[in-house]
Amino acid sequence: MLVVAATQNAHKIKELAEITKDFGMELISRSEAGAADFDIEEDGATFEENSLKKARAVMECCGMAAIADDSGLVTDALGGAPGVLSARFAGVLGEGADAANNKKLLALLAKTPDAERTGRFVSVVTAVFPDGRVIAARGECEGRIGRTERGDGGFGYDPLFTPLGYEKTFAELPAAEKNKISHRAKALAALRERLSDSV
């Protein structure tokens, strides 16, 4: 069965493809499905809403099953921010967004004691099918927010986030290790189980 990845992020497409291939799904990009030329406004109040909106929009455009991911960083000291606004927290899109977002987060947490710099990465992955089925899974990775950026790997808030039980940030961990414990890995593993039960 062909499934369209609602994201245009090549890294996310690769991760999704690895999970879904074991139960007879072949993931293709939006451009391959002829659905690359439109934007989907991520205006939902939750990761679940945004993930569903993206998957449904691509499914309706292509008439094929679609999978979407919505993810971000939730910090306890900031009441859950940046949350669903993680990618555009500082109001910058595209090149420079990661640096601007990290700078804003560090500024807002500057007076927060280390013990209160807790949070989690959250990922919600949703699969929407033309027959009306909707299957969603959520994954979370608990950790703490550092005071300086560390590491050259990963993207987004990875240089600031140290998962519980580790001394290294996501950006310092080897990609293979990060991908075993990350929020997205957990969401995809849960989705895999639910898809296996429904296919």
Among this protein's residues, is 39 annotated catalytic?
A: no
pLDDT score for 133: 93
List the structure tokens of 169.
């940030």
pLDDT score for 175: 84
> How many Å apart are CA 32 and CA 29, to the nearest integer?
5
List the structure tokens of 62.
């292509």
For the chain, list residues with pLDDT below 70. 22-23, 198-199
Strand partners, 26: 2
List the Cα angle 181/17/19 in 5-degree steps: 45
Omega prior to 174 cis, within 30 of 0 = no
Assign a CATH topology to domain 2-198. Maf protein (3.90.950)
What's the DSSP call for residue 167?
S
Among residues 70, 98, 131, 197, which one is catalytic? Answer: 70
Q: What pTM was computed for the model?
A: 0.89
How is the chain split into domains, by residue range? Answer: 2-198
